[in-house]
């Protein structure tokens, strides 16, 4: 199939053919303390799948030690436990410590475990029609002709860097593009992961991409920071540019290494006798599973938000634009209710 428009590329796109993904699951289960709902990080699982990229093959073996961190044994009378935020931080630190020479890491957080794809490739209520993808080039060009002071048109066959700068401007104002946002700062990406979380049992994830420092990357794209698009600088932003995705990449012949850290709900593994011995677990096995899953994930997300806030990572600081800043404030103070929770602490392994 000739890739003569974005609809053709979208029909061929399957994330598992483009990315070789090492998955690490942070397994959460439900608990409570003094009638307060809470969550427990029960274990960390590193996948046992066979990977193609050398960087992931080595990393998989090295990260197996994460499974023995003892996160399931951090009980005390006050239900002290590992915070999932510190588990994320520990894993990120170890990945950066063990990454090969010549690579750097960039990050992307999303509030659900859906397939990674640019907004232009999305369909349904939050996406775009096939007609939009087929006619995207004409639409982009017509916008540039109508608003030349805001955006310039560059054909895909011409200057990809200049094209990406201008597509980033379209994305800044909410139009779908072939660009996927990433950040050089993992805390900023974690903030995006939790800030957009709407509950419903969605399992958030943080993707980590390995980028060659010499610039030999198939999708990674840095762009010039424009004065009118302050967000890129504030968010330490760059992009995965799907304009660069060719037939080799779509066929699975040149996969991109990725580590995916996922929040996963699991049923607790305590039997009746052990539950009765713990003062905060008497009702742990009661109730609807989907309700327990939803509450557990919301509590974990809120915990991450609180920890990020304590490190001065706040949503309103990521949007220096006037209209977006007001939108963030509106969401921040919306009356959505909250789940009552208690304090969490991280204990040492002593």
Q: 8: how many CB neighbours lie within 10 A of its CB? A: 15
Please tell me whether residue 237 adopts helix, strand or coil conformation: strand
- d(C-alpha 255, C-alpha 209), whole Å: 12
Strands 256-265 and 220-221: unpaired
φ and ψ of 37, to 5 deg: -65, 145
What is the residue-level pLDDT of the chain in tens, covering all 350 positions? Answer: 557 799 999 999 999 999 999 999 999 988 765 566 788 888 999 999 999 999 999 999 999 999 888 776 654 444 456 889 999 999 999 999 999 888 999 999 999 999 999 999 999 888 999 999 999 999 999 999 999 999 999 999 889 999 999 999 999 888 999 999 999 999 999 999 998 898 888 999 999 999 888 877 679 998 765 544 444 444 557 999 999 999 889 999 889 999 999 999 998 776 656 555 554 455 555 668 899 899 999 999 999 999 999 998 887 777 656 555 566 556 666 665 555 454 443 333 33
pTM: 0.85
Question: In this structure, are residues 176 and 128 in contact, taking their beta carbons and an 8 Å threshold?
Answer: yes
- d(C-alpha 329, C-alpha 315), whole Å: 9
């Amino acid at each position: 199939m000739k890739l003569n428009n974005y609809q053709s590329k979208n029909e061929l796109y399957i994330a598992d053919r483009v990315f070789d993904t090492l998955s690490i699951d942070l397994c959460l289960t439900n608990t409570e303390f003094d009638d307060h709902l809470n969550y427990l990080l029960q274990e960390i699982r590193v996948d046992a799948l066979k990977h193609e990229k050398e960087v992931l093959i080595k990393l998989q073996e090295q990260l197996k030690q994460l499974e023995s961190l003892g996160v399931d044994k951090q009980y005390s009378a006050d239900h002290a436990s590992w915070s999932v935020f510190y588990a994320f931080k520990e894993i990120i630190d170890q990945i950066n410590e063990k990454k090969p020479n010549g690579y750097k890491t960039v990050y992307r957080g999303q509030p659900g475990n859906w397939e990674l794809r640019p907004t232009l490739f999305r369909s349904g209520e939050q996406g775009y029609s096939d007609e939009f993808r087929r006619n995207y080039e004409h639409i982009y060009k017509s916008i540039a002709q109508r608003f030349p002071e805001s955006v310039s048109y560059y054909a895909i066959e011409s200057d990809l860097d200049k094209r990406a700068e201008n597509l980033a401007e379209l994305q800044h104002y909410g139009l779908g593009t072939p660009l996927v946002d990433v950040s050089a700062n993992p805390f900023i990406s974690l903030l995006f992961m939790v800030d957009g979380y709407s509950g419903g049992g969605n399992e958030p994830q943080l993707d980590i991409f390995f980028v060659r420092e010499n610039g030999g990357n198939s999708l990674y794209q840095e762009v010039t920071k424009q004065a009118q698009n302050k967000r890129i600088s504030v968010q330490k932003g760059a992009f995965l540019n799907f304009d660069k995705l060719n037939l080799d990449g779509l066929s699975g012949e040149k996969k991109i290494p990725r580590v995916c850290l996922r929040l996963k709900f699991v049923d607790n593994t305590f039997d009746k006798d052990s539950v009765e011995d713990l003062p905060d677990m008497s009702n742990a096995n009661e109730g609807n599973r989907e309700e327990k899953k939803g509450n557990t994930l919301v509590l974990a997300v809120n915990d991450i938000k609180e920890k990020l806030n304590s490190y001065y990572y706040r949503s309103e600081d990521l949007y220096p634009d006037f209209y977006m800043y007001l939108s963030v404030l509106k969401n921040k103070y919306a009356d959505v209710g909250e789940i009552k929770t208690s304090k969490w602490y991280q204990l040492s392994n002593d």
